[in-house]
Structure 1
Amino acid sequence: MITTVTLNAAIDQVYEMNSFVMGQTNRVMQKFQQGGGKGINVARVIKALDGDVLIGGFIGGLNGEKIKASLQEQRLPTSFIQIEGESRICLTVTDYQTKEMTELLEEGPTIQPHEWKKMLRWVEVQAESSEYLVLSGSLPKGLPPNAYATIIHLLKQKGVRVTLDTSGEALKQGIEAIPFAIKPNEDEISQLIGKPVEKQEDLIQAGEKLRDLGIEHVCFSLGEKGALFINSTGIYQVNAPKINVVNTVGSGDAFLAGLIYKLSQGASDEEAYRWAVACGSVNAGEKEIAKVQKESVESLLKELQITNVKVR
């Protein structure tokens, strides 16, 4: 089974508008709402691919109840830890005229020490039935920067393959715990190496250093440029398919879901990499966040080619 953990879960709310102008009254054409957060998005896509998945994390207050109810309506299995604080709302505003998307992300609740201890006990229990565990998203207030690293160390001792998708100090310290896979973007890599990523060779050099630490899959999603994957056998590039981009929010989560789903099915690394790009691309063509249909993914795979650009 695959377990996803979202420590800062949210209500994902999307406003669709003909135009969005700062400082003026803007009228919403359509509104869409669902339980979200990066780990939840990953789980939603894995479920759509017919994978066996469980959603965990923190929820609290009325927003937490809405998150849980939304996921239950979608028949997504959950095992949340209730907290005293109120779960957050993340708002995406889509402007049809400019095709631009603006995100407004609340900071979220403050986690209490006893709530964090409950989470660590929960993680230990889930390790007994989880082959893969995905840690995604920002850390809520109240947790130390090494929170993800603590979970990674705990799970590695039990043989669980842990994937990490976060940013900042949480990513830096999480990497030091040597997760199974990571998916940093270019900005996050720039922070890690202390300089801007100006060309693909910069990514490759950074990725090789991360691989040499012991991380089995270093994944870079590059949007319209496709994706770059670095593992012990080489450096693989997958082209980006031609799609009508509608909403890119959640595409990185769908990318990660496709990767872990296929690896959990025993697929080769190359096949899993192609599924990652296909899932991220299908999501980008949908209005809804983390919206993927398996048939669409399988159809898009025909357009994807993978090349080993550097054999190790």
Structure 2
Amino acid sequence: MIHLVCPNPAIDRTLLVDGFVKSLPNRPYEVREFPGGKGFNVAYAIGFESPNVEFCVHTIAGGRNGAYLAELAIDQKIPVKFTEIDVNTRVCNIIMDTKNYLTYPIYENSFELDDVLLDKYTETLKLSIHGGDYIVFSGSLMKGMPTSYIAEFIQEFRDQNVKIFVDTSGETLRQAYESKPYAIKINDEEIFDIFPDTVLESIDSYAKLLSSDATANIPVFIITLGEKGIIAKIEDQILYVKAKRVKAKNPIACGDFFLGGLVKNLVIGQNAETTLRKAISYSTANVLSWFPELNKTQVEEILNSLEVTKY
């Protein structure tokens, strides 16, 4: 089972507008709504194609919008375990100017996560976890969570062979790194949260870091490099993968789609190269859609065009 940690969800309402203008009515020509939040974005990639794997999003929701969020999750075939609250779940509007390729995200504030609610959510999550499961932390921790939150999970579940994926930043990332999770996925800026004094000026320098003792106890270590591609260590292999440049429609969730592809393919036992090819194909194909979804033809085209270098 893959557990996706997503305490701060939303209804993501995407509006497509042919040229967004000020001071005049803007009338979208298409509006679609999705379960939102980084954990849900990861779920879209996990559930994209066969083979199916067992997964669940763990979230906090309430009110009429919370009920609607549950309906949207069913429509998307995403299993969810809810911690219920009295506060109405937020709605985030994402305006896409499809004429000028511009994005206007308008995100509502969320509920307050106090200690009582956090304890309830955490206990529900922990009771769902069994030996050999996977836990995915995607994005910054919600306000109200201590910076040690992920590190404590790593330490508590290590003896149960629970594999924890970490995609975060700052002090939370530093503490998680020190606790040695199964996998870390970060970008070329977040790497300095862990190694502030490291000089990384070339792909070779990233490869050298990944082959050093600094990452020896972390089986999967991914560094995304934007348009330059990704460099990754999976077990004893180090690979650099680069995709062809594309014109992005919506880059909002590309990192989450990469993470979903990474987790799923590792879970089903794919080798390192296939795993990375799939993950970057999902990430790249997602930016070609206005919505958080993938197109099989585009994924295949990207998959076949990737350049892979082994170190």
Matched, 1:128 2:130: yes
Name the CA distance, whole Å, in 2 between partners of 1:288 and 1:299.
19
Name the CA distance, whole Å, in 1 between partners of 2:209 and 2:91.
34
Does the residue aligned with 1:187 lie in a helix, a strand or coil?
A: coil
Residue type of the partner of 1:27? Answer: N
Name the CA distance, whole Å, in 1 between partners of 2:290 and 2:61.
25
> Do the aligned partners of 2:62 and 2:86 also contact (CA within 8 Å) in 1?
yes
Name the CA distance, whole Å, in 1 between partners of 2:180 and 2:85.
29
CA shift, 1:203, in A, is: 4.5
CA shift, 1:206, in A, is: 5.7
1:304 pairs, out of 275, 286, 306, with 306
Name the CA distance, whole Å, in 1 between partners of 2:132 and 2:85.
24
1:77 pairs, out of 71, 74, 79, with 79
Residue type of the partner of 2:286? Answer: N
CA shift, 1:26, in A, is: 5.5
Q: Deviations over 1:19-66 (max 9, x none)?
A: 335x64451423222111111111122112233221112223333222
Task: Find the counterpart in structure 1 of residue 7 from structure 2.
Answer: 7
Does the residue aligned with 2:151 lie in a helix, a strand or coil?
A: helix
Task: Find the counterpart in structure 2 of residue 230 from structure 1.
Answer: 233
Task: Find the counterpart in structure 2 of residue 212 from structure 1.
Answer: 215
Name the CA distance, whole Å, in 2 between partners of 1:24 and 1:201.
51
> Do the aligned partners of 1:146 and 1:173 also contact (CA within 8 Å) in 2?
yes
Name the CA distance, whole Å, in 2 between partners of 1:175 and 1:207.
14
Task: Note closer, same or farther for the CA distance 1:83–1:221 as it changes in structure 2 (3 Å cut).
Answer: same
CA shift, 1:121, in A, is: 2.3
Output aligned runs, 1:44-83, within 5 Å. Answer: 44-50=44-50, 51-52=52-53, 53-83=55-85
Does the residue aligned with 1:184 lie in a helix, a strand or coil?
A: strand
Name the CA distance, whole Å, in 1 between partners of 2:209 and 2:26.
45
Does the residue aligned with 2:65 lie in a helix, a strand or coil?
A: helix
RMSD of Structure 2 on Structure 1 (CA): 2.7
> Do the aligned partners of 1:247 and 1:285 also contact (CA within 8 Å) in 2?
yes
> Do the aligned partners of 2:169 and 2:193 also contact (CA within 8 Å) in 1?
no
Task: Find the counterpart in structure 1 of residue 264 from structure 2.
Answer: 261
Name the CA distance, whole Å, in 1 between partners of 2:178 and 2:86.
31
2:160 pairs, out of 153, 158, 161, with 158
Does the residue aligned with 1:48 lie in a helix, a strand or coil?
A: coil
> Do the aligned partners of 1:56 and 1:79 also contact (CA within 8 Å) in 2?
yes
Q: TM-score, normalised by structure 2?
A: 0.86
Does the residue aligned with 1:157 lie in a helix, a strand or coil?
A: helix
Gaps of 5+ in 2: none
Q: Deviations over 1:102-157 (max 9, x none)?
A: 33334422223222222332233222176222111332222212222222222323
Does the residue aligned with 2:270 lie in a helix, a strand or coil?
A: coil
Q: Deviations over 1:183-228 (max 9, x none)?
A: 2123323444447966545645665568526222121233432221
Task: Note closer, same or farther for the CA distance 1:159–1:130 as it changes in structure 2 (3 Å cut).
Answer: closer
Name the CA distance, whole Å, in 2 between partners of 1:156 and 1:254.
26
Q: TM-score, normalised by structure 1?
A: 0.86
CA shift, 1:263, in A, is: 0.8
Output aligned runs, 1:66-215, within 5 Å. Answer: 66-128=68-130, 131-194=133-196, 199-200=202-203, 203-204=206-207, 207=210, 212=215, 214-215=217-218
Q: What number of residue pairs does the alignment pair up?
A: 307
159-168 vs 235-244, which moves further: 235-244
Name the CA distance, whole Å, in 2 between partners of 1:104 and 1:155.
37
Residue type of the partner of 1:79? Answer: K
Task: Note closer, same or farther for the CA distance 1:58–1:171 as it changes in structure 2 (3 Å cut).
Answer: farther
> Do the aligned partners of 2:60 and 2:82 also contact (CA within 8 Å) in 1?
yes
262-271 vs 83-92, which moves further: 83-92
Name the CA distance, whole Å, in 2 between partners of 1:110 and 1:129.
32
Task: Note closer, same or farther for the CA distance 1:72–1:213 as it changes in structure 2 (3 Å cut).
Answer: same
Task: Note closer, same or farther for the CA distance 1:129–1:193 as it changes in structure 2 (3 Å cut).
Answer: closer
Task: Find the counterpart in structure 2 of residue 27 from structure 1.
Answer: 26
Task: Note closer, same or farther for the CA distance 1:244–1:48 as it changes in structure 2 (3 Å cut).
Answer: same
Name the CA distance, whole Å, in 2 between partners of 1:213 and 1:89.
42
